[in-house]
Structure 1
Amino acid sequence: MSIELRHFRCFLAIADTLSITRAAERLHLTQPAVSRTLRQLEQELGLRLVDRSTHHLALTPDGITFRDQATIAVTAFDQALRHAHRTVRPLRLGHAWSAAGTYTPALLRRWHRSHPDTPLELLRIDDRTAGLARGDVDAALLRGEVRAPGLLTERLTTEPRVVGLPADDPLAHRPALSLADLAQRTIALNTVSGITGLDLWPAAARPTSTITIGNTDDWIAAITGGRAVGVTTSATAQMHPHPAMAYIPLTDAPPVPVVITWRDGPGHPRIPDLIALAREVIGGRGVRP
């Protein structure tokens, strides 16, 4: 057997989601097919890439190293195909949730007026870098610290944190909440693209009950269904209002940075223009719709 591009894509889907099930959904394959493809890749390389010894999948040290190399290879292949088939290609801007918040319409409209020859496509992709690390987009609007190798970032603004609660929750009528108010509650944690973890709480007062979800829609469903409460930023409240949900300011948690991120190396020629526009619109300099 020889290694093919599909083996790289399968492994990267597993590395992004840390789940055979979610990787299969992303690739539109069955779970056995994903497991078999990963096993073939490991056998051909003579390396163990994924640790399956726990309830949750984890990359081995060899898997972490190979992920970075596989990302470079797949990105280069995809870029070569796009260049061959398009003379003018869209600029793809990824986000994991809430895009640029309330600045989103202004960003898109200003780009359309300034660069009508280059469409700006806004894509929601549910992973930590909104598809940037694996080459699905040219740049991304992200929240929180970006640790993926080979990426450059510029901070644009910060957003305060809020608590998402069922609208009929006893705490939903408070003007503000603290982390201590949530310590005895079940917390919904988005482990795929979210920025809230249990380390947000002091070590001695962390919640002991959590549920794991993989995207904003499931996060909202878990909360409005009464299964949990959650912590997010003000942009979620602005972009995802819900009649069965209340968003309450969280007073004692640090604000979340909003950054624009792009790959360190050759990329779409319009990326510098996008960074400059995001700096103006989201960073608050020269904003107009």
Structure 2
Amino acid sequence: MTEPTGMNDRGPDDGTRRAGTGTGSHTGGVELRHLRCFLAVADEGSVTRAAARLRITQPAASRTLAALEDALGARLVDRSTHHLTLTAAGRAFRDRAAVAVAAFEDALDAGRSVRRPLRLGHAWAAAGLATTSLLRRWRAAHPDVPLELLRIDDRTAGLTRGAVDVAVLRGPVDVPGLVTELLHTERRVAAVPADSPLAERPALTLADLAHHTIALNPVSGTTTLGLWPAEARPTSTVTVANTDDWLAAIAADRAVGVTATATPDMHPHPAVAYRPLTDAPPLPVVLAWRDTPSRHPSVADLVTLAHEIADESP
């Protein structure tokens, strides 16, 4: 069984196969290259960036995506804006496409002498200060299985769409089909502009932040207005898409934020001060993976090592 590469059996800049060539896996005209192209577009939010990632031309990527939509009889991508977004049908299909591609890769792994890398996702802060220890101890114990750390800005750090095998997640996780194990909890801290009066205090409370604009990351963050009592919630917010934008908003004195203690360790910023937040509940930090027979065979080993390191941490 061979995977179609989409490179040897098509003409220059051509997003479709030549008739009668190739023996790749396909069903009803849909092949793995169609799924890979769609997933790349979904991840990148751009056909151009997806094409660069796949090492094909932009016209070829556009035609491959269009061919997939034609085969499915559904529009998967909304092209009405500069930054492409998925339609409702596209969001539903993304998870199924990711599972299909992951299952194909897992099937190939069974016949390979060297296992494919184990992909560990996170949206921000990874495993905090334990990240380096986790990566180094894994390499020493499992030199035949590379551990790749991937930052992916979504609620499950790419886990539900098959971009990673395991993910470090913060906050409650209630996603069907995922298995989770608690590693530890982290205290919350406030993030404020380093030159603001709030930064002069040794510690802060939720009430201290309530009259300021709050930076919220609905894509992968854990802070919502529900963190504050109903009668004392902030009235001004600014929405950001990732940790970098969150830090930039606070550094520019546009907002303040709430995060976990791992954030200042992994994302220090000279213009942002972190202060203990004394009355906010702690955040659970969990390892999560998909509950499927095709999961990576080294998931259990990673979970065991992560628990060992968490138990050794103060």
Q: 1:251 is aligned with what amino acid?
A: T
Report how many residues are paired: 282
CA distance in 2, matches of 1:228, 1:239: 20
> What's the CA shift string for 1:189-225, capped at 9, x where partnerless?
1222111122222233322222222221221111112
- Tell me if 1:103 matches 2:110: no
**Residue of structure 1 aligned with 2:242, choices 212, 215, 224:** 215
Partner residue, 1:262: 289
The 3-state SS of whatever aligns with 1:191 is coil
Partner residue, 1:140: 167
**Aligned CA distance change for structure 1 residues 72 and 88 (closer, same or farther; 3 Å):** closer
Structure 2 unaligned segments of length 5 or more: list them: 1-15, 17-28
**Residue of structure 2 aligned with 1:241, choices 240, 251, 268:** 268
CA RMSD of aligned residues (A): 3.5
Alignment of 1:1-289 (within 5 A): 2-3=29-30, 5=32, 8=35, 44-46=71-73, 60=88, 65-80=92-107, 87-265=114-292, 266-282=294-310, 284=311, 287=312
**Aligned CA distance change for structure 1 residues 88 and 191 (closer, same or farther; 3 Å):** same
Larger radius of gyration: 2
Q: Contact conserved, 1:15 with 1:59, CA < 8 A, in 2?
A: no
The 3-state SS of whatever aligns with 2:273 is strand
TM-score by length of 1: 0.80
> What's the CA shift string for 1:84-103, capped at 9, x where partnerless?
67723222211111111111
CA distance in 1, matches of 2:60, 2:256: 36
Higher relative contact order (CA 8 A, sep 6+): 1
- Between 166-175 and 115-124, report the one with greater CA deviation: 115-124
Q: Contact conserved, 2:186 with 2:285, CA < 8 A, in 1?
A: yes
> Displacement, 1:32?
11
The 3-state SS of whatever aligns with 2:262 is helix
Structure 1 unaligned segments of length 5 or more: list them: none
The 3-state SS of whatever aligns with 1:211 is strand
Q: Contact conserved, 1:145 with 1:257, CA < 8 A, in 2?
A: yes
**Aligned CA distance change for structure 1 residues 202 and 45 (closer, same or farther; 3 Å):** farther
**Aligned CA distance change for structure 1 residues 16 and 192 (closer, same or farther; 3 Å):** farther
**Aligned CA distance change for structure 1 residues 63 and 243 (closer, same or farther; 3 Å):** closer
Q: 1:249 is aligned with what amino acid?
A: P
TM-score by length of 2: 0.74
**Aligned CA distance change for structure 1 residues 115 and 50 (closer, same or farther; 3 Å):** closer
Q: Contact conserved, 2:37 with 2:50, CA < 8 A, in 1?
A: no
Q: 2:280 is aligned with what amino acid?
A: A
**Aligned CA distance change for structure 1 residues 101 and 25 (closer, same or farther; 3 Å):** same
Q: Contact conserved, 2:95 with 2:162, CA < 8 A, in 1?
A: no
Q: Tell me which stretches of 4 or more aligned residues in structure 1 moved more than 3 Å.
A: 1-17, 23-53, 57-60, 62-68, 77-86
